[in-house]
Each structure stands twice: as C-alpha cells, then as structure tokens.
Amino acid sequence: MAADGLQMTTSKLLLARFPFRHWAIWRTPHRVLVGYVLAVDALALLGTAAALVILPVGRVNSVTVLLLIACSVLYTELSLPIEKMQERYRGAPSIDLNAVWMFAGILLLHPALSAVVIFVAYFTTWVRVRPNELYFRTFSVAATVVAGLAAVAFLRLVSTESFAEMPRNTESFTIVFGAALIFLVVNSVLVTGSICLGTPHRKLRHALGQMPDHALEAATVALGILLSWALVDWPVVILLIMGIMLVLHRSVLIRQFRDQARADAKTGLLNSATWFKDAAAELDRSTRGAALLMLDLDHFKTINDRHGHLVGDKHLRGVADALKAEVRATDLVGRFGGEEFVILLPRTAQDDALAIAERIRHRVATVTIEGLDTVTVSVGVAAHPDHGTTLEEVVSAADRALLAAKTAGRNRTLLFAG
C-alpha cells in the first residue's frame, strides 16, 4: 500500500511539473502532424538506442565532445545580437547555422554522443534566442539525429575506417561528401514533411523553401567537414571557422534586410512599390503577353470594426497564404493597399487568367480565422497587351473590371470589357 501511495504521489508530481496534457502539440488541429512528430521523435530515440547496441562506443574523446559543445554555446552567445535583429525584422527563425558543430559531431563521434551535441546546440538556441513551442524544438533535434544516423549508416556501409583514420584522398572526400548529401536530404525531407502536414494548403515548392536557404545549409555542413578535419589534424583552425561563421551569419542578416525592404510587413507579399517595379520589368521583357488580377476583399471593414484590427490582420495573412498557394513561382503577388491585392501572371491568356481568378476566389472563401465567418473576394481581370501596353494601363483596366464586379454584387470575377 505504501509503495502504491508513493507511486501515485510521484505521478502527481510529474504531472504537476510536466503538464503533458497541456502541451501545444495536442492543440494542433492537424492530428496527422501530431503522429508524424511523435513518430520522428521515437525514431530518433530508437535509432540512438540501436546505435549504442550495434556500434561499440570505444574510447570516448571527451575533449572533442566538450569542444564541440563549447563551440556551439559560444557561437550562440557571439551571434546573439545578429539573431535578435533577425527576429525583429523577419519574425521567423532562419536556417540554424549550428549545423557546423552538429555535422562535425556526426563525423567524429559515436551517434549517441553526436546526439548530445545536437541536443545542446538546439536547446541553447531555444533558451537564448527562440523560445518557441517545445515540440518544435524537440522535433528539430529528432530530425537532425535521424539524418545523422542515416549519414553514419552510409559511412559504415561504404568504409571500414572512421573519419579520423581515412586517408586524405579523393575517395575519402567522395565518401564524406556522400554522407553530407544524405544528411541534408534526409533532414530536408523530414522538415518538409512536417511543414506540409502542418499547412496542408501550402504547395510543395513553398514547403521546400528557397534555394538560398538550402545553399546556406549546405555551406554550414561543408564547414562542418572542414571543422572535423581541423579537429583531427590542426585544431587551431577552429578559430578561423568561428570567424567565417559569424561573417556568414551577418551576410544572412543583410539578405533578410533586403527581403524585408521588398515585403509587405503584414502579409509577407511584395509591397506595392516592389510589385510595380518587378511587374513593369516583367512586362518589358515579356513576348507572350500576360494577365493581371486585381482583388478586393468584400466588406472587409466590418471585420475590423467588429473584431479589431488584429483579427483583420490575421485575415489578411490568411488570404495572402491562399493567394501564394494558388499561383506559380514565377507569378508576382503583391499587396496593393488596404484589403486590395494584385497578381501578375506572365505568359497567361485571358481564359486561363479567368480560370485562375475563379480558383482563387473559391479558395479565399475557405479561409477561416478564429472561427469567424469567411470573407469573399471580388476580382477584376485584364490582359497585356490587349487592354493596355503599359503596366499602368493594364492596372487601370483591371481596377475598372474590379469596380464592375463589386457593383454587380461582389464575390465574382469579371474581365475588363473595354
């Protein structure tokens, strides 16, 4: 009886200290995402446990373990001003440059020890820079551990020598390059899967991210290879790598400043000035015509009046996401002002533009924010060069078609009639 009482008391204390039932992951509406995240977490734990059983730990190089952990912590502190500025201007985390220390740990250490390095690197950043939902961070750790296990499995399959024992020749470089590629691909697939499940309306190309981000991540893994080599043959080079990392991190900030100057703060779409500049350049080089859609949210003012501007801004972001999900990567989507949006569709005929506009109109009508009624959208369509030879003329034609759609009863699409 005493043992049972002690067990119950311990359970209550654990629930009080770690309220699992209140974790944010259980509140996500996408139940498949919950299962996916938990499955990747379990795979990381089981894979690490299997590595402890299958692979001998051998003589632990505690100096390497401590040095990689110290580097990740020190780098987080040194880059803290840059990270804080990134958060302020972009509002979303960038690629984690700690992959340098993580991949070096994957190459040099037993998988269980590299998992420790990965855990410390991610959670140091979580505590000091980005205290987002805990399950996001644990999933990032798990995905990186699984990717690292895949890279280690490849290395063990094609080589009997550890990284430290490998001859510095072309064959060894090819093997290590292959391991790095596997690490990047597996990690990207796992992360992309979580994004697709968490935002099922998002197209795959948007979930995959932008090429500059992938190039940056590849560069950090490449530096991880150089760091591993330095730790084996010439440890003092780590000082140069730390400096390169800080310069690389600052260059990321500069790119984000440039992107910020082009983007509308509330929606993430192109702002009006940038859209006009890019659209004019597109029409100048276009030889196959283009179409232009101008969209206006119907009765949007009533949302702001009844529920406040914060809820209205959420509606704007939801509509912006819907627009991006329904267009091609080459299409230009911008916020024209207020609740108006504009889309340039290069190499698009009038009939195709009308079909796209109707698809967008139906998609916007499905956007639900905080359980409120959905908003509808009216769309005006114009074509270049049929309805104007300059951007200003085509915009004016689409604007008049939009006015006609709103006058005719709203929630409809009309082509400029001349």
Contact 333, 323 (CB under 8 A): yes
Is 21 a residue whose pLDDT tops 60? no
State residue 380's pLDDT score: 94
The DSSP element (H or E) to which 418 belongs, if any, is none
Strand-pair partners of 343: 293, 333
Rounded to an integer, what distance in angstroms lies between the CA atom of residue 244 and that of residue 266? 34
Rounded to an integer, what distance in angstroms lies between the CA atom of residue 50 and that of residue 402? 62
State residue 92's pLDDT score: 42
Split at pLDDT 50, 70, 90, the class of 147 is very high
Burial-class residue 170 by CB neighbours within 10 Å (0-12, 13-18, 19+).
exposed
Rounded to an integer, what distance in angstroms lies between the CA atom of residue 307 and that of residue 313? 11
φ/ψ of residue 85, rounded to 5: -70, -35
All domains of the chain, ordered by start, with CATH? Answer: 18-262 (no CATH), 272-415 (3.30.70.270)
Is 60 a residue whose pLDDT tops 50? yes
- Rounded to the nearest integer, the mean pLDDT of the chain is 81
Q: What are the tens digits of pLDDT across the range 274-314?
A: 899 889 988 888 778 899 999 999 888 887 777 777 777 88
* Amino acid symbol at 384: H
Closest CA to 292 of 329, 327, 325: 327
What token pair was written down for 345? 């569709």
Rounded to an integer, what distance in angstroms lies between the CA atom of residue 283 and that of residue 278? 9
Rounded to an integer, what distance in angstroms lies between the CA atom of residue 255 and that of residue 250? 9
Average pLDDT over residues 177-182: 95
Integer CA distances (angstroms), 130 to 86, 133, 356, in order: 11, 9, 38
Contact 37, 194 (CB under 8 A): yes
- Whether omega for the bond prior to residue 385 falls within 30 degrees of 0, making it cis, is yes
Assign 3-class secondary structure to 123-184: HHHHHHCCCCCHHHHHHHHHHHHHHHHHHHHHHHHHCCCCHHHCCCCHHHHHHHHHHHHHHH
Distance of CA 21 to the CA centre of its chain: 27
Contact 82, 94 (CB under 8 A): no
Q: What is the pTM of this model?
A: 0.62
Q: What are the tens digits of pLDDT across the range 88-136?
A: 544 444 456 788 899 999 999 999 999 999 999 888 887 777 666 677 7
Closest CA to 316 of 282, 266, 273, 259: 266
* Amino acid symbol at 27: R
